Structure 1
Amino acid sequence: MKTKAILTSAIIAALVAATGCTKSSTGRNQITLFSSDELNQMGVTSFEELKQKEKISTDAKTNQFVQCVASAVTQNVPKSVHSGDWEVVVFDSKQANAFALPGGKIGVYTGILSVTENQDQLAAIIGHEVAHVIEQHSNERLSSNQLTQIGAAAGSAILAAQGVENKETWMMAGLAIAKYGFLMPYSRMHESEADIVGQDLMAKSGFQPQAAIDLWHNMAKQSNGAPPEFLSTHPSNQTRINDLTQHLKQSNKLLKSGSTPRCKKPSYL
């Protein structure tokens, strides 16, 4: 037990070493070891690589719809996050997915448009993904992964110095503790934070924040066989619905009357 405690402490110490470097907009302490320039370059590079690999939609009405919603949302993103235009690309794929990257990049897969019933639900998706960028979640994930590696190296050195047998077994146990005790809940925390920040962002952009709740009801219908929440990097659909419902009153206060975008979803989507 003493050996396990030493190893676990080494990994935990590395994970929390940089806590408090920055704060999210919700007031949460963050681990951010990378500069904005580094993250922006990573985002741009990853986006360019993806555009070479994935099929890009050329459907004019689909692109117009997605661009309309994305433009309305990104107009309300702080300039400190990205000061230029956002590049929005629609990928022709059945994946029900979307993403946003540092450097002002947004990708929307056509598969997600069969889940989103209207402009407001698509705004919930895009708002959520852009919220990840606003809150520097990619920086935190990269930083926590780096610290985990440092912690694992430190733990390995401690075990070697003590002449502990079955070092690999202890290392695997320590990394499992880090994964299920820190990294996976950490990712769930990111998702929950992006849900709330994204709901506020879509409201500021003129979209109905109730649609974020409706969206996750739609998602719940398609998520048969999802793993238990404690073994998932994402909160359960019901957790997200509960959190968004609880926050709805606050988001509604941010909704500006008379400023609703008019983005028409093609009837064939």
Structure 2
Amino acid sequence: MNCNCHVTRRGVLAGVATLPIATLPACDRASVLVSEQEAAEMGAEAWERIRADVPESSDRAFRDTVSGLSIRLIEAAGDMPANWEVVAFESDQVNAFALPGGRIGVYRGLYELAESPDQLAAVIGHEIGHLQADHVRERMGNARAQNALQRVVAFFLRQSDIEFDEEIMAALGLGLRYGVALPYGRQQELEADRLGLALMSEAGFQPDAAIRLWERTQDAQPNRPPELLSTHPAPQGRIRELREMIEA
């Protein structure tokens, strides 16, 4: 039986672009690919690497501020501060993070940027919100699903002896990153914002401080990449969303 089908490079690449959405598990189920214990172990490993690479600050005021704010927010989340490890890191990064297993890191750059304890609490609450919503484990599961899909496609491409398989795999990687992983990350960021605002309110902080912090962040980082290429919402959009959450 003769077949006049002709597979073109453009056709294959176009087909690959649809694979991530069609074949990846739903994002809200990605966490099932990584157990809570495994996530905690990976979080502990990452935490130790960070602690080995970045020194803890010797600034007592910085350490005490981060510790005091975290205690109030952790208690507002219904947990015991003794179950958490909180470290103030001596780094110019304007950032903070939380890892599975109850670990929070805050960099001096963020401490210097924040004008008030309430502004710093906005970020710490946001990071606790990520853990409340199981976002870190979901991202781990999502990454595992993406890697599995790429291995499956690579196998079939090798079996089919397609000469431009490397281009197809590159296109698949871009589709996964910009079509699934980054938008998924932006959705998680806004959910963490919402949870963080609730924690701020419960702990006695002023939620409006989150808006001011992001205004300052926008001024301090005017050359951010386009939102399409970022896991975080653009500052203008984030500020608008925060206002709507606070006014709701």
TM-score normalised by structure 1 residue count = 0.82
Please point out which of 137, 140, 151 is paired with 1:139: 137
Shift, 1:97, TM fit: 1.3
Q: Distance in 2 between matches of 1:234 and 1:31?
A: 19
Change (3 A) 1:209 1:201: same
Q: Distance in 2 between matches of 1:6 and 1:40?
A: 37
Cα-to-partner distance string for 1:205-264 (whole Å, 9 max, x where unaligned): 1111011111101101011211111111211001110000000034xxxxxxxxxxxxxx
Shift, 1:64, TM fit: 1.4
One-letter identity of the residue aligned with 1:48: E
Check if 1:15 corresponds to 2:24: yes
Shift, 1:52, TM fit: 2.2
Check if 1:31 corresponds to 2:26: no
TM-score normalised by structure 2 residue count = 0.89
Check if 1:207 corresponds to 2:184: no
Residue of structure 1 equivalent to 2:59:
59
Residue of structure 1 equivalent to 2:77:
77
Change (3 A) 1:11 1:152: farther
Helix, strand or coil at the partner of 1:225: coil
Helix, strand or coil at the partner of 1:75: helix
One-letter identity of the residue aligned with 1:38: E
Change (3 A) 1:66 1:83: closer
Please tell me whether the aligned partners of residues 30 and 145 of structure 2 are also in contact (alpha carbons under 8 angstroms). no
One-letter identity of the residue aligned with 2:171: A
Q: Distance in 1 between matches of 2:135 and 2:237?
A: 20
Helix, strand or coil at the partner of 1:94: coil
One-letter identity of the residue aligned with 2:88: V
Structure with the higher helix share, 1 or 2: 2
Check if 1:149 corresponds to 2:147: yes
Q: Distance in 1 between matches of 2:149 and 2:11?
A: 17
Shift, 1:130, TM fit: 1.1
One-letter identity of the residue aligned with 1:201: L
Please point out which of 193, 199, 224 is paired with 2:191: 193
Q: Which moved more, 1:52-61 or 1:180-189?
A: 52-61
Show structure 1 runs of 4+ deviating over 4 A. Answer: none
Count of residues in correspondence between the two structures: 238
Residue of structure 2 equivalent to 1:3:
12
Residue of structure 2 equivalent to 1:223:
221
- Structure 1 unaligned blocks of 5 or more: 21-28, 251-269
Residue of structure 2 equivalent to 1:165:
163
Q: Distance in 2 between matches of 1:200 and 1:131?
A: 9
Change (3 A) 1:209 1:155: same
Cα-to-partner distance string for 1:37-96 (whole Å, 9 max, x where unaligned): 1112222222223222211112222211111111100112244xx885211111112211
Please tell me whether the aligned partners of residues 11 and 154 of structure 1 are also in contact (alpha carbons under 8 angstroms). no
Shift, 1:6, TM fit: 4.7
Helix, strand or coil at the partner of 1:89: strand
Residue of structure 2 equivalent to 1:46:
46
Matched-pair identity in %:
36
Q: Distance in 1 between matches of 2:18 and 2:108?
A: 45
Q: Distance in 2 between matches of 1:218 and 1:83?
A: 29
Please point out which of 83, 86, 91 is paired with 2:84: 86
